[in-house]
Amino acid sequence: MVTINNTEQPMCCIGCQAVAQTIVDNGLTQYYSVRTEPANKGQSLIPEQLQKNKLLDEAALQNEFIYQDNDTKEAILTIDGISCAACAWLIEMQLDKLSGLVSISVNATTQRATVKWRHAELNLSDILTAIENIGYHALPFKANEAELRNKKQSKAFIKRLGISGILMMQVMMIATGLYFGAFSDMSEDHKHYFRWVCFILTTPIIIYGAFPFYTGAFNAIKMKRLSMDVPVSIAIILAFTASAWATITRQGEVYFESVSMFTFLLLIGKFLEFRARSRAAQVSANLLKLMPMTATKLTTITSPAGHNTYEEELIAAKQLVVDDHVLIKPGEVVPADGVIVSGSSQLNEAMLSGEQLPISKSVTDNVFAGTINGDGNITVQVKQPTSHSFLSQLIRLSEQSQAHKPKLAQLSDKIAQFFVALILITSICTALYWHQHLPEEAFWITLSVLVATCPCALSLATPTGLTCATTRLNKDGIMIKGGHVMEAVPQLNCFAFDKTGTLTTGEFQINRVEVNGEYTKENVLAIAAALEAHSEHPIAKPFTAHRDFSIQAQNITVHSGKGVSGDIDADHYTIGKSGWAISQLDENAQQAISNHQDANCTLIKNNQVIASFYLVDQIRDDANAVIEALNKTGRTMLLSGDSQQACDKLATVLPLSSVEGSLSAQDKMHKIQQAQQNEKFNVAMTGDGVNDSPVFGAAHVSIAMGCGADITKSGADVILLNNKLSSINTLIKVGHKTRRIIIQNYLWAFGYNAIVLPLAVAGYITPYMAVIGMSTSSILVITNSLRLLKK
């Protein structure tokens, strides 16, 4: 409905409604009283692009690139047309108004956005259409397509550069003739002829070469915002318009050679910036390219005689579903996350952990999509679809952390907006002043002010640094999940560790078994294995080899971080850490116990200890070096659920500042909170990620060991995919270096603008110097950030 002359009028489609509203808004309603025929009705109610966007709402298509969690969906989008951080900020601000949108983070460096929304309230097509309405083009991120778009964009840049460069050289050559002609009494007709030639040659540069600057400025102004493209576009248009007017009227000076060189130099700067940003975004895109296109699916065929055989079928990897069986031959890439059901081999997991040495895998071991099979045939049962694979989650979480904006970056984005307004106001004041005092130089000085102070470097300072830092860490098998990590790491001064699986390898072996009563060693091990089969704690793993499936436990209760209790053949059993297990006995039974206190694990039957297990766990090779390095920067704490005696024994080998044992998960959380509140420590907690969720939530930064599937679901901010404790030192080193580089970027960006603005206003900087200075400033910031990629 549109109100025309105080009357509500129905409209047949959105297009007619938009046209009618425009007529009303511009005071042209007289059109309806003087027209003689109604307008023709449009043939298509929905534009082609809207139809394409609607197709992406189909569930079958979304399975390939959407991550769904309960009532929300999440996707990574590639956005074409982002020229600087102001574009990213503009997209975030406009889309944040959509009902049903949970979050959006746009990374200007990689030109990608991570979007999360409630699918009951909002469709993906609505998000894509909203981005289109702002003036940008978005599609779901796919590595191969992103690479093709980058190549296409690179070719377009080179084409603009080539055309602008060739025409610019011709204009410069003619301008040189005009300069020399001024001293040789060249006739006015010849001068005017050369001016027209320059006008014709410069026009394609201004219309085609500088087009990206105009679109960026138009999109920003349409949304009532200011971007870096606004002053640049104004400068180009003013210089060309003034020259064209002087050519047509034969009055005044022309600046065709200057504006053509000015545009050409700007394009060179933009192209170099594009190449640098593309390099910073390559690693995460290349990870997705590791996913295979096809998979060999095994289909079970039952013969009339009742014999089962397997038929191999080559299908697209994205069509695999949970519980499918796939055959992976030597040298092939694993197409989906799963578990080996037959065969054994060695797999290269370098793309996850950074470790090039192959890892032996056999039946019941987990394998991950994108890893490379070695020399054996293995059959894998699919556990996760492609969109939920560990590799897909790695890419998604990495994009989130790169797009996170620290407080300093958020402040700089706001400053950049006001700074553009300040540039425009300063340019107007400069033009008015010099027009009165030195009219012939006023135009050039104003042009220099518009260009030289463009704050591109200011907006690039943080996103380029964070992107390069997370990429560098990913190469070393360190995955950043939390967006705040790179901001928090340099402030850490207290490092808390779990014991089992963290400072130690977590690969326990049963060293000794003590049995009471009539039970045999084999019997108590089988009972213990039946109970521990329900636990994920590292202590439960060594019992797996003794599992007797004829013994089944019922009414199981898992006591987090302590042990397991349950019933077997009408008897109640409890197994767990000795201190906790013995505390479950009544007072008389506890007094009768004397020789089980130092055992690692105790098995109880109906209020009676029937066996004690002594386990051995090796300290990690790099633990001592890591603790010594961390002691130089802060305090180290051991917070463990193991007995105090076992913790004290570990403290005799490792130089820990303090040791606390026999702690529950809640106790660990309280210890961390005390360190934060009483001693004002910034605490990092490193654990196995299984039973430490409350502890992880309390720490400033939480770090999980290993790359198992359970860890991906934990609340850790950082995952050490390579399972190396020494990666903590790498994380801290890169964190400090990232902060230094970001601060250097800001100092350079602010310092450059602080120096160049008064010089430009005073007339000491020519437009050529302004273009070179602005481009050099942005390139220096990106190049400085790229240093983070080097080891």
Spell 187-216 as b/e; 16+ CB within 10 A means b: eeeeeeebbeebbebbeebbeebbebbbbb
* Better pLDDT: 402 or 26: 26
Intrachain domains 48-141 and 477-504+619-734 with the same fold: no
For residue range 594-622, list pLDDT tens digits in order. Answer: 555 667 788 998 888 888 888 887 888 88
Residue ranges of E strands in 243-324: 294-302, 308-316
* Domain 294-388 -> CATH class: mainly beta
Residue among 471, 491, 485, 487 at smallest CA distance from 408: 487
Dihedral class, residue 13 (left if φ above 0, else alpha if ψ from -120 to 50, else beta): beta
What fold characterizes domain 477-504+619-734? Rossmann fold (3.40.50)
* Domain 509-616 -> CATH class: alpha beta
Distance set, CA 602 to CA 394, 530, 571, 587, 606 (Å) = 39, 14, 16, 17, 13
The answer to whether 578 touches 599, Cβ cutoff 8 Å, is yes
- Is residue 730 over pLDDT 90? yes
Least confident of 149-158, 256-265, 414-423, 465-474: 414-423
Looking at residue 135, its pLDDT comes to 75
- Is residue 772 over pLDDT 80? no
Spell 344-360 as b/e; 16+ CB within 10 A means b: ebebbbbbbbbbeebbe
Distance of CA 104 to the CA centre of its chain: 12
For residue range 324-378, list pLDDT tens digits in order. Answer: 889 888 888 888 888 998 888 888 776 565 555 677 888 888 888 878 888 788 9
Least confident of 435-444, 455-464, 524-533, 622-631: 455-464
- Return the structure tokens found at 421: 């307004």
Looking at residue 37, its pLDDT comes to 45
- Is residue 14 over pLDDT 60? no
Domain ranges, ordered by start, for the chain: 2-34, 48-141, 294-388, 477-504+619-734, 509-616
Whether domain 48-141 has CATH 3.40.50.720: no
For residue range 483-503, list pLDDT tens digits in order. Answer: 678 888 999 999 999 887 788
Residue ranges of E strands in 519-671: 554-559, 563-568, 571-577, 601-605, 609-616, 635-639, 658-660
Distance set, CA 323 to CA 341, 395, 419, 534 (Å) = 11, 24, 57, 22
pTM: 0.58
Question: How much is the mean pLDDT over the chain?
Answer: 78
* Kind and range of the H or E run holding 751: helix 727-761
The answer to whether 124 touches 62, Cβ cutoff 8 Å, is yes
Distance set, CA 252 to CA 192, 203, 435, 450, 568 (Å) = 12, 19, 14, 22, 102
Phi/psi for 279 (5° steps) reads: -65, -40
Distance CA 111, CA 103 (A): 17
- Return the structure tokens found at 353: 């952990």
